[in-house]
Structure 1
Amino acid sequence: MSSITNLDFFARRLSQRAALDEEDRAAVSALPFQHRYLNPSAYVVREGEPPRPHCSFVLSGLAFRHKLTVHGARQIVSIHLAGDLLDLQHLFLNIADHSVQALTELEVADIDRDALREMALERPAVGQALWIDGLVDASIYREWVLNVGRRDARARIAHILCEIAVRMHAAGVIDAADFHLPMTQEQLGDATGMTSVHVNRTLKALAKDGLIDHSGRWIAIQDWNKIRREGDFNPLYLHLDQVAPHLPGPLSSMFP
């Protein structure tokens, strides 16, 4: 989307999380914002800094959330795509406790933070929608902790590929089980607690076993049921009933 004049997309997104009436949707669409493009690796949020005067809503592209150790080791804790708010966590906090960067070229609507905070307090349905948005994010974080802490290498990679495919499908980015994954092997390693060499070997092993077709950064899931079992993937934690209720049928039918 090359230009926008209001936040109808954001209003529709919040309407998937809670029952907004016409006045709520109109008020959300009328929130003050600025349209902005960011280059890959550009920071949206920086750990240790006061939150910026806006909350960024993703219109297109991907971003990632991460934390750094004192020695500079990075842990990626989530991936974000079209329809996601990138810094809702800091709507009521004084200091950012993690960083968010653009993974690809990123198009965002920078929504005025004070106006969004005021609306969340004054319009209960909007506040509920934002609560649900934050709760879904927290659910995803918990699953990523489990992925890094308790699954083996094959399951970690299989799980993150399943999640990205399902979330891209839910956001309307893809309509089949193949997708461009704009993450380097180093970034995949930072998301799964693995070295880039181990990531490479694991991707090759999954391809050799017929679960995926892997060419550069292009991933095609060859057997959805097998990779789902390999990754111990249960989409319950994504709460798709409140994020993308329009999706038809069971997930296994989406990725034959």
Structure 2
Amino acid sequence: MVEKLGSRSRLNLAEQQALSALPHHVVEFGRDRYFSREGDRATHCSVLLSGFAMCHKITASGARQVISIHLTGDLLDVHDGTAETTTSNCQSLSSAAVALIPRTALVALARDMPAIAIALWADMGANASILAEWLLNLGRRDARARVAHLICEMQWRKDAVAHRKSPCATWPMTQEQLADATGLTAVHVNRTLQSLRREGLLAAEPRKLMILDWPAMCDAGDFTPEYLQFGNRGQSGGERTGAFA
């Protein structure tokens, strides 16, 4: 979390140490386990220490819409602000560890150290920017562009977290979960992936999906990374890899 907040807002050593010293306890989860459900009492802020997670909402009829995907270092629920209850469901996509920080402690620290408040504000601003891009993806792009865009986004974000181009980056999303993130059916996602493979943009292996032509994949997904607000972190050319379960 300290590194993630520091990537978008300057924090001095004392501020970094204060964040690291926040009271917390760590909980480990298996795959597909809920960290929290919509309507739970919002007493803690959750930081993803390892693994992957998603936040989603469910309609009265049981349909699910994934509204965000999270990587190591992400704050999962800071967007709930001072709400008394959580506003979405948070669930692991892989084995994961989460640090639970009492909300009162984080709020008090932000009041005492304005730079930390600004860093949290910047992080929420970046999340809002990503959400706006997701709305554009759902509302105005076709199926091919939606899927390609999300694959590009996740690969860029993973490279940014790792500070390098990863030769074998895992991405444990099922096609059903990808469908729920792009407003498609799992069958449509499967057909779209097959089409991208035939075009030579992707190569599939068991549990892996490799981007063979990064510029062409970005064109297919109408993807430019500025909205992620990572600066030049994560940027690289050539092949990139990810994985589907």
TM above 0.5, yes or no, is: yes
**1:149 paired residue number:** 139
- In 1, Cα distance between equivalents of 2:69 and 2:54: 5
| 8 Å Cα contact 2:46/2:98 also seen in 1 | yes
Shift in Å at residue 216 of structure 1?
3.7
- In 1, Cα distance between equivalents of 2:209 and 2:112: 44
- Give the secondary structure class of the aligned counterpart of 1:210: coil
Shift in Å at residue 156 of structure 1?
0.7
**2:28 paired residue number:** 37
Given candidates 16, 20, 31, the residue that maps to 1:25 is: 16
Structure 1, unaligned runs of 5 or more:
1-9
**1:4 paired residue number:** none
Matched, 1:158 2:148: yes
Shift in Å at residue 14 of structure 1?
2.1
| 8 Å Cα contact 2:126/2:229 also seen in 1 | yes
| 8 Å Cα contact 2:57/2:64 also seen in 1 | yes
Matched, 1:182 2:169: no
Shift in Å at residue 50 of structure 1?
1.8
Given candidates 201, 205, 220, the residue that maps to 2:210 is: 220
Shift in Å at residue 251 of structure 1?
4.2
Which 10-residue stretch deviates more, 144-153 or 41-50? 41-50
**1:115 paired residue number:** 105
| 8 Å Cα contact 2:165/2:236 also seen in 1 | no
**2:61 paired residue number:** 71
Name the amino acid aligned to 1:127.
Answer: A
Which 10-residue stretch deviates more, 41-50 or 61-70? 41-50
Root-mean-square deviation over aligned CA pairs: 1.9
Structure 2, unaligned runs of 5 or more:
none
Shift in Å at residue 145 of structure 1?
0.8
Q: Deviations over 1:85-121 (max 9, x none)?
A: 0111124111212111111111122122110011112
Aligned pairs for 1:1-256 (under 5 A) are 10-51=1-42, 53-172=43-162, 175-176=165-166, 179-241=169-231, 247=233, 250-252=235-237
| 8 Å Cα contact 1:203/1:214 also seen in 2 | no
Aligned CA distance change for structure 1 residues 173 and 19 (closer, same or farther; 3 Å): closer
**1:7 paired residue number:** none
Which 10-residue stretch deviates more, 123-132 or 168-177? 168-177
Name the amino acid aligned to 1:34.
Answer: H
- Give the secondary structure class of the aligned counterpart of 1:108: strand
- In 2, Cα distance between equivalents of 1:198 and 1:173: 33
